[in-house]
Amino acid sequence: MANNQWYKELAVYQIWPRSFKDGNGDGIGDLWGVLEELDYIKSLGVDAIWFSPLYCSPNADYGYDISDYRKISPEYGDNELFKKVLDEAHKRGLKVIMDLVVNHTSDEHQWFIESKKGKDNPYHDYYFWRDGKGKDGKKPPNNWLSVFEGGAWEYNEDLKQYYLHVFAKKQVDLNMDNPKVREEVKEIMKFWLDMGVDGFREDVITFISKAEVRPNGFPLPICTGLEHYKKGPHIHEYLSEFRHDVLDKYDCFVVGESPMTDAKTALEFTDEHGDKELDMMFLFDHMEADCFMTDTIHLPFNLKKMKKAFANWHKTLDGKGWPALYLENHDHPRIVDRYGDLNYRIESAKMLATMCYMQSGTVFIYQGQEIGMTNFHLDSLDQFKDVVTFNNQKIFKKLGFSDNFYLKVANKTSRENSRTPVQWTSGEYAGFSTTEPWFHLNPNYKQINVEQAENDENSILNYYRKLLKFRKENPIVIYGDYKEHYKESDKLYVYERNYEGKRLLVISSFSDKPVTFNAPEGFNLKNGKKVLGNYTTEKLTDNGFIMNPYETRVYLFE
């Protein structure tokens, strides 16, 4: 059984600021908009906000390329306004966590500008500068490819050296082996913690240590070299240092983003009996039930794959680590389009929330998820904006696919799908702004919006509220154990939870056809109370029922 700690009981709402709400009428979401909607956020029943980066950034990767870690971008407001949002959030009992992006800085960060000035510049070693190979030194130091944009090395004519960028060209990898860089990171953490923030979501944090000798990597279409930094030689050392020197001194929590990490590896970072470098990690395996490795390589949804991922987390982390439960964020298309069914948008969105958030773990909900926002359909590739979309376009082209084909792929799989402005009303610009928004509105805002959802007792929004309230009032959801039934079913996801003599049975159908459900041995549904569900029917057939399309029910046995 897990030890109780406050961060375990949180439900966190993620704001991707550019598309949340525009408060000053320039078409770009901002902190004025957030201030207007704090009561709405609170009304969901969440306990915290995670802000995707708000700092100064040239927006090569929309905020994930930071040019000043201590300054809020003028597009979003300023530090004073941020402090006001922070205080107002705290007044409402909402904690606030910031995105900490320290694998790389923007190439427009002062450190990088200095580091380019010469090999003897004190900032030169803040980054990975290396001589090229070949007679003229114009071959990159190794074969590494970036995750986002071609080769991982970029040549600088003045210095006649290459710098490393594991992501986009404008996202320059910091040399964490340099103790001065680690001191900078600690100072940045302190700056925000001293201001009163309650923790961090640490961006691709497991990538921050890179092998000293940088050998060639196993050739892949993207991110060749990954094996040399995915969990680099000093990663535990550096994260322990941050923990002991900073985090331990504050009552805060940290969630690390860790692509390509399994639950067993996550324990190395989060074990409650160990150093506990991070409190929890965002794993990715449950998001790979309809794709291969990356969203871009789309496959039909495979329920068993998803169930296995969840089961594996609970088995591996049980009593030692803590899961971060999420279905959406700014890096993935919308979940109803993926694991749900647009023909049953409302039913399947409620079902997905139930099957995920009735599990043990800290809850993360992404803006718009609570009203069941969906993917878009853009008509041409030049309507997209993200560096990743364009990189993938090049890769598809190289592999012989037409742009027309790729357009279909991008519409289905691009992370830009989750970045359309939040749909507040059916009115002009969806109530997001008073002017043309920076990015396309999904035309379905006329039907799908917060205002509509507020006025409909049976909306997805109101279901999220009920669900979060139930979670809060019933510690079994947070601390109960996990036992799965009908593991082999490719239509049903059924699990039970046990805690202090109570039992919970969570039954979800992933089928658009009726499915027969019989209660697992040891359960008599007549003795249980149906506490949550997405259909009003209560009818039982013996000790089971015929499930409606995408039906979900939660029974509590006291």
Instruction: Report the candidate in 176, 148, 177, 151 with the shortest Cα–Cα distance to residue 163.
Output: 151
Enumerate the H helices of 474-535 as residue ranges.
475-479
Q: Which of 28, 280, 287, 525 binds Ca ion (CB under 5 A)?
A: 28
Q: Which of 20, 30, 223, 339 binds Ca ion (CB under 5 A)?
A: 30
Query: What are the residues facing 161 on neighbouring strands?
Result: 156
356 binds, among Ca ion, ligand GLC, none (CB under 5 to 8 A by kind): none
Q: Which of 111, 153, 167, 445 binds ligand GLC (CB under 6 A)?
A: 167
Choosing from 154, 203, 277, 331, the catalytic residue is 203
Choosing from 257, 268, 341, 370, the catalytic residue is 257
Do the Cβ atoms of 138 and 157 come closer than 8 Å?
no
Of 76 and 129, nearer to Ca ion (C-beta) is 76
Select the residue whose beta carbon is closest to ligand GLC and give its number: 64
How far is 9 from 479, CA to CA, in rounded Å? 9
Residues 95-134, interacting with ligand GLC (CB under 6 A): 101
Do the Cβ atoms of 403 and 393 come closer than 8 Å?
yes
How far is 447 from 342, CA to CA, in rounded Å? 13
How far is 330 from 22, CA to CA, in rounded Å? 18
* Number of shown-chain residues binding ligand GLC (CB under 6 A): 9
Q: Which of 24, 121, 265, 425 binds Ca ion (CB under 5 A)?
A: 24
Q: Does 416 bind ligand GLC (CB under 6 A)?
A: no
Do the Cβ atoms of 290 and 315 come closer than 8 Å?
no
Do the Cβ atoms of 364 and 324 come closer than 8 Å?
yes
What is the pattern of x (binds ligand GLC, CB under 6 A) and - over residues 469-488? Answer: --------------------
Q: Does 331 bind ligand GLC (CB under 6 A)?
A: yes
Enumerate the H helices of 256-344 as residue ranges.
263-270, 303-317, 335-338
* Number of shown-chain residues binding Ca ion (CB under 5 A): 5
Please list, in sequence order, all residues whose beta carbon lies within 8 angstroms of the beta carbon of residue 136, skipping any fewer than 6 positions away.
none
Query: What are the residues facing 498 on neighbouring strands?
Result: 503
125 binds, among Ca ion, ligand GLC, none (CB under 5 to 8 A by kind): none
Of 64 and 111, nearer to ligand GLC (C-beta) is 64
203 is catalytic: yes
Give the shortest CB-256-to-ligand GLC separation in angstroms.
11
* Beta pairing, strands 502-509 & 515-518: unpaired
Largest CA distance in the chain: 81
149 binds, among ligand GLC, Ca ion, none (CB under 5 to 8 A by kind): none
Residue 138 backbone phi and psi in degrees, to 5? -105, 20
165 binds, among ligand GLC, Ca ion, none (CB under 5 to 8 A by kind): none
Give the shortest CB-481-to-ligand GLC separation in angstroms.
31
Residues marked active site are found at: 203, 257
Binding-site ranges for ligand GLC (CB under 6 A)? 61, 64, 101, 167, 203-204, 257, 330-331
Interface residues toward Ca ion, by CB under 5 A: 22, 24, 26, 28, 30
